[in-house]
């Protein structure tokens, strides 16, 4: 399954209301490290299909959610379980580090 596109409009229902843990990537088109991480997020989405949801939220297209979660830099990654943020990391991460971090919190 490809990554899910989160927006201000679908955030509450699809991310906070998800029945699985969500790895949420706050990103921007102009962000080099965000673009570098994109393939790793796509691969994790495929590999962990059915176990987690990998979602991406463009902070320029959905500024309300970015402000609500106090996003000050991108990429910022969050793990959301049961409607609550259980972990947050800022900065780019390799696929192996993402998987390790998910294993600790998802």
What's the pLDDT tens digit per position in 81-104? 999 999 999 999 999 999 999 999
Pair of tokens at residue 25? 């990537």
Beta bridge partners of 53: 22
What's the pLDDT tens digit per position in 14-59? 999 999 999 999 999 999 999 999 999 999 999 999 899 999 999 9
Catalytic residue selected from 31, 57, 77, 78: 31
| CATH code, domain carrying 34 | 3.40.30.10
70 CB-contact burial (10 Å; exposed 0-12 / middle 13-18 / buried 19+)? exposed
Catalytic residue selected from 34, 66, 78, 98: 34
32 is catalytic: no
What's the pLDDT tens digit per position in 50-84? 899 999 999 999 999 999 999 999 999 999 999 99
Domain that holds residue 21: 4-105
Report the predicted TM-score, pTM, of the whole model to 2 decimal places. 0.95
Q: Structurally, how many domains does the chain consist of?
A: 1
Termini Cα distance of the chain:
18
18 is catalytic: no
């Amino acid at each position: 399954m490809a990554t899910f596109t989160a927006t201000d409009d679908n955030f509450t229902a699809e991310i906070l209301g998800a029945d699985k843990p969500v790895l949420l990537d706050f990103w921007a088109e102009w962000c080099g490290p965000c673009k570098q991480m994109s393939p790793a997020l796509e691969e994790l989405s495929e590999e962990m299909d059915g176990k987690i949801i990998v979602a991406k939220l463009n902070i320029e297209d959905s500024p309300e959610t970015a402000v609500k979660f106090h996003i000050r830099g991108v990429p910022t990654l969050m793990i959301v379980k049961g409607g609550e943020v259980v972990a947050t990391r800022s900065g780019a991460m390799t696929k192996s580090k993402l998987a390790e971090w998910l294993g600790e919190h998802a």
